[in-house]
Amino acid sequence: MNATEWDDESEAYLRMVFERQSEAGHKGGFPSAYPSTIFETSWVRVAMSSVLNTLLQSGFDKDDFLLADVRSLTTLLETGIKQGQGTVGWGMRETSDLKLGALTISSPKLPSGCGRYCKDYLSAASPGLGPGSGADDSVFRGGCVLHILKCATFITKTWSENSGPDKWHTSARYSTMLQVQAFVRFLKKWSEDEFDVEAIPKNLVYQDVPRMLLDILAHTMNSQKDDGSWESKREVTAYAILTLTPLLSLPWVDFLKPECTACILRGKAYLENHRKEWREAERIWIEKTVYGSPNLSQAYCLAAMKVVVPTTIISAKICDMFPLEMTKKMGKMASFFAKVPPFPSAPNWKLQLSLLQSASYSAALKAHRYSIFPPLMEASDEKYQNYIPFTWIGCKDHLSTPITPKCLWDMMLVSMYNFQVDAFMETSARDCYAGRLNDLKGLICGLFSEDSMGYESMTKYEHATTPKKMTNGVKNGVGNVGQSGRENGIANCNDDYAMESNGENGHTNGLTDQDEHVKKVLTKFVNFALQHPKVLASPAPMRQWLAHELQTFLLAHITHMEDCDSLAFSASSGAKAITWSKPRTTFFKWVRTTSADHTSCPYSFVFYLCLIGNGSNWLEMSIQKRYALEDACRHLAAMCRQYNDLGSVSRDQNEGNLNSVNFPEFSSEYGDVSAASIDTKRQGLLAVAEYESRCLGRVLGELELSMDARLMEKLRLLIQVTDLYGQIYVVRDIGIRREEEGPDRGVMKGVALQWT
């Protein structure tokens, strides 16, 4: 197309291709490459260790094939390799377009730097996990641990950030089939000490690989259609069967064998019913256009029909990845969550599979436990890491939400940090700034000012310990925090409170060591959110919105402390709930401001929008869409807090912590604000929470009309997770208690779960 002179040889080649294609019945089009003798013959070899190996591994015997046919294939490939002196192209005399997968036919070793070699073409813009990428089980046939480690790390990282289809295929089922076959082989070799154990990182074996395999297992089982197929395609159904089969060899999923075997049998029945169509290739492969291969279609269908459920890998090393104690704990958790909406209708195996997936995330959360917040001796916080992962994994599996594991992991971190910041503000920060909460407000405002926080010249966000310069396109950062801020005691952060920074604009003697500690911790927390790569890639209005909500969230903690102090002056009436005698605002305004902000829901909502968008999704956000999103967020936050309060009325009363039912509106119908009983107030609060839920539903209906369907699907996951916490609070009071707290100290009301 870019040639400056006509090439007669190229014209002759194109005419030849056109004539050959016409003879084969393909008139009017050109294939991406021709001839493709080597390509066609070796493709399944690249993807599944050759056509023969695919069929042999699936249960066929070598005697099922004619020896002459086998020799013909072998001779063809060997001749091509010799002609190319070790390299092959599409046809017998082509040496261009080198494919890494073809090298694996003759050599068990891989080139170094597998990440950059996971490409089909040297000029490819991005790597893939499809054929020729090295993502098949030939990766683990070599003996070099370094090469194996590079490939394994690359594949698990790529899966975590993009678990969708490979760029060469319309279906994710193909690449996941290759990954499962490769990594089951990897685990088996690792368990048999065929690798240098010291060279394999523990997090790869104990977290990344099981996490990927279990996610693939759950998604494959949950996505089967009622007719037994996957995606209503024969070849894709074969991929799914060949994915599930090796997974059943893992000892952790023995409880799934009946259900998984049933999935396989339904898939085989679908293939049997469409046996006559196996060679009618479906257009599922991607090149310049989509295309199909009759040879591949038939080979995979034959393999899927022949494959049998394997024997479980009995290896102490593999079994110990999920020890018996963990299994017992998951059984207890499954019994509890089976009573909590939306899971009562879910089969027990689905709950157990979601909990099994959550186990590796729990271990990873514990490893990050003190990455921002230090351990707090005053707070009871030992068990919440075990439950946060399930709230995300369980809801994701329940809704079948297509979302990347990396996004789920980031939101698990947010959930954990939200618990920890609640505890930190109610203990360390409050103790440090006792009697001078205005100074704490000033410190928080300083974290968001133009001179002390921003997005330029930032270091990697996980390790940031000092505020970075923020331009954000807005003078003085978030500036006036508006109505929500005023309800939290802030009219203008830049003027009302002195900034505490090294003795300037505040304490003339500078910050104390305790002050510096609080500032350092809160700065790391703010930097985690505002300097996250996905946030930095979002449009300026999204970053500004997030900064505003995050600042308001931190300031709401201080307002909550002041409200709890004010509540302490109200009298108790025996078995009746305490009524706040002099509230600073109405219940409705409190619900929309301090109450909602204190839940962390608003800032987490915006952070999540940054994660699920690709930047351009929000560039053209209309005022109506933005308004509806904020409205949905406020209803969601109000509902979250009200369900939280519903489950903790008695405990909050005993500990002097402000609860929704403490407002006079819950007793005003009796004339005497102290007349209503706790049960009566709870019924009123439940009615209000259900009202907020209905309001949220109406707003979501509006958003359905304007938002991208894929984004809306992911937004509903966040709403389901938030609602799950509310349902948990209705079933059981799971608040986090402060050790040895007095009646004048507020309890932390976070998202974490405390089981007693």
Residues 225, 240: Cα–Cα separation, whole Å: 12
Burial class (CB in 10 A: 0-12, 13-18, 19+), 6: exposed
Partnered with residue 748 across adjacent β-strands are 736
- The Cα–Cα gap between 726 and 640 comes to 6
> With 0-12 CB in 10 A as exposed, 13-18 as middle and 19+ as buried, what is 338?
middle
Q: Look-up: residue for tokens 């002056």? A: 569
Stated length of the chain = 756
Beta bridge partners of 501: 504
- How far apart CA 278 and CA 299 sit, in angstroms, is 9
Distance CA 569, CA 579 (A): 10
Amino acid residing at 274? H
- Cα 329 from Cα 432, distance rounded (Å): 38
Q: Hey, what domains does the chain have and what are their CATH numbers?
A: 111-321 (no CATH), 357-731 (1.10.600.10)
pLDDT tens sequence across 25-36 = 766 667 777 776
What is the distance between the alpha carbons of residues 735 and 79, in angstroms, rounded to a whole number?
71
Write the DSSP string, 206-236.
IIIHHHHHHHHHHHHHHT--TTS-BTTBHHH
Question: Is 730 within 8 Å of 647 (Cβ atoms)?
Answer: yes
CA separation for the pair 186, 150 (Å, rounded): 13
The string over 226-253, giving b where at least 16 C-beta atoms fall within 10 Å of a residue's C-beta and e elsewhere, is eebbbbebbbbbbbbbbbbbbbbbbebb
Amino acid making up residue 739 = E
Residues 6 or more apart whose Cβ sits within 8 Å of residue 381: 419, 420, 423, 736, 752, 754
For residue 105, the surrounding DSSP H or E stretch is: helix 100-106
What is the C-alpha separation between 323 and 437, in angstroms, rounded? 47
Tokens 């590796």 sit on residue = 360
Partners of residue 573 on adjacent β-strands:
576
Residue 387: name the closest of 755, 634, 720 by CA: 755
pLDDT digits (tens, 9 = 90+) for 449-474: 754 444 433 333 334 444 444 433 33
CB of 396 closer than 8 Å to CB of 408:
yes
Amino acid at 690: E
Closest CA to 183 of 207, 161, 166: 207
Q: Do strands 290-291 and 285-286 pair parallel, antiparallel, or not at all (unpaired)?
A: antiparallel
- Rounded distance, CA 680 to CA 468, Å? 50
- Token reading at 125: 């813009």
Neighbours of 259 (CB within 10 A): 15
Beta-carbon contacts of 398 under 8 Å, excluding residues fewer than 6 positions away, are 342, 343, 346, 350, 354, 720
Q: Which phi and psi angles does 291 have, rounded to 5°?
A: -155, 175
Q: At what angle do helices 172-191 and 234-247 cross, to 10 degrees?
A: 20
Quickly count helices (H) and strands (E) in the chain: 32, 2
Other C-beta atoms lying within 10 Å of the C-beta of residue 524: 20
Encoded amino acid at 744, one letter: D
Q: What is the DSSP letter of 291?
A: E
Give which of 546, 456, 459, 449 is closest to 500, Cα–Cα: 449
Chain-centroid distance, C-alpha 632? 22
What per-residue confidence (pLDDT) applies to 748?
43
Q: How far is CA 175 from CA 242, 345, 378, 615, in A?
A: 12, 32, 48, 27
Cα gap 327→359, rounded to integer Å: 10
Q: Which residues of the chain have pLDDT under 70?
A: 1, 26-29, 36-73, 76-77, 80, 84-143, 163-165, 377-383, 450-510, 571-577, 615-617, 619, 668-676, 732-756
| Cα 389 to Cα 130, 294, 365, 386, distances in angstroms | 30, 43, 9, 7
What Å distances lie between residue 258 and 181, 248, 253, 262, 578, CA to CA? Answer: 21, 10, 10, 6, 54
Q: What is the 3-state secondary structure (H, E, C) of 640-694?
A: HHHHHHHHCHHHHHHHCCCCHHHCHHHCHHHCCCCCCCHHHHHHHHHHHHHHHHH
φ, ψ at 504 (rounded to 5°) = -105, 145
Helix (H) or strand (E) holding 302: helix 294-306
Distances (CA, A) of 158 to 127, 152, 235, 461: 9, 10, 24, 21
**What separation in angstroms does the CA of 23 have from each of 37, 87, 212?**
17, 30, 46
Please name the amino acid found at residue 301. C
pLDDT for the residue 360? 86
Extract the tokens encoding 159.
């899966």
Q: Which pLDDT does position 525 carry in this prediction?
A: 97
* In the block, residue with structure tokens 């977290």: 207
Measured between alpha carbons, how far is residue 50 from residues 65, 138, 266 in Å? 14, 10, 26
